[in-house]
A and B are shown apart, each in its own frame.
Chain A
Amino acid sequence: NAGVTQTPKFQVLKTGQSMTLQCAQDMNHEYMSWYRQDPGMGLRLIHYSVGAGITDQGEVPNGYNVSRSTTEDFPLRLLSAAPSQTSVYFCASSRRQTAYGYTFGSGTRLTVV
């Protein structure tokens, strides 16, 4: 049981490049979400999904796109990378009964130069 798998673990991009951060879970969780972690800011919600085909914006969605074509996968797309998107990105998943808590991936450290 792998849990939540994020790839890549590290990435360096040039300003203006695009890329996709991958997230997959094998727990059949309905809920998935993306966060970014910045020093002194805690974790801020970028986008979330309550099931396949359903996504919505969180606190800081600008510059990011998501889709949820399957229950297992929830990729995060950076459309045109900017230095302000330098951050550590975490994907998380949960059962519909979120009282059980979310399971987090190990993160992707992204640097935009």
Chain B
Amino acid sequence: GNSVTQMEGPVTLSEEAFLTINCTYTATGYPSLFWYVQYPGEGLQLLLKATKADDKGSNKGFEATYRKETTSFHLEKGSVQVSDSAVYFCALSASGQAGTALIFGKGTTLSVSS
């Protein structure tokens, strides 16, 4: 079945450090891939997405490239800020089990200190 595995946190960084959060997936067919962010006490917001192999999603300085050969969608940012502190979820949407509802990884907590 479809599944998402992302690196466990927490990830603790200093401001302006480089960020990578690893995400790999298992899916039949050609899923769409997403990163969602959840700030403390809030719901989930779509951060970026990619719908086909080699697509690069980007937003607010974050980037992720859809790598079909390695079934990965790693999230990166060149210089993190304190305001980036949040929980980040990798997710996929693919036909099959659960229709096309999102399947999530368990989330990675990022804490950035000044």
- Shortest distance from the beta carbon of B16 to any chain A beta carbon, whole Å: 29
Q: Which of A88-107 contact B (CB under 8 A)?
A: 90, 92, 94, 98-107
Q: Which of B32, B43, B104 contacts A99 (CB 8 A)?
A: B32
A48 and B104 within 8 A (CB): no
A42 and B106 within 8 A (CB): yes
Rounded to whole angstroms, the CA-CA distance of A94 and B93 in the bound complex is 11
Secondary structure dominating the interface of A: strand
**B residues in contact with A101, CB < 8 Å:** 34, 46, 49
B99 within 8 A of A: yes
- Shortest distance from the beta carbon of B91 to any chain A beta carbon, whole Å: 8
**Number of B residues with CB within 8 Å of any CB on chain A:** 22
Give the number of A-B contacts (CB < 8 Å): 62
A40 and B106 within 8 A (CB): yes
**Number of A residues with CB within 8 Å of any CB on chain B:** 27
**B residues in contact with A44, CB < 8 Å:** 104
Interface string of A38-51 (1 = CB under 8 A from B): 00111111001010
B93 and A42 within 8 A (CB): no
Rounded to whole angstroms, the CA-CA distance of A105 and B51 in the bound complex is 23
B20 within 8 A of A: no
**A residues in contact with B98, CB < 8 Å:** 45, 48, 56, 58-59
Where the two chains meet, the residues of B that have a C-beta atom closer than 8 Å to any C-beta of A are 32, 34, 36, 42-46, 49, 51, 89, 93, 98-107
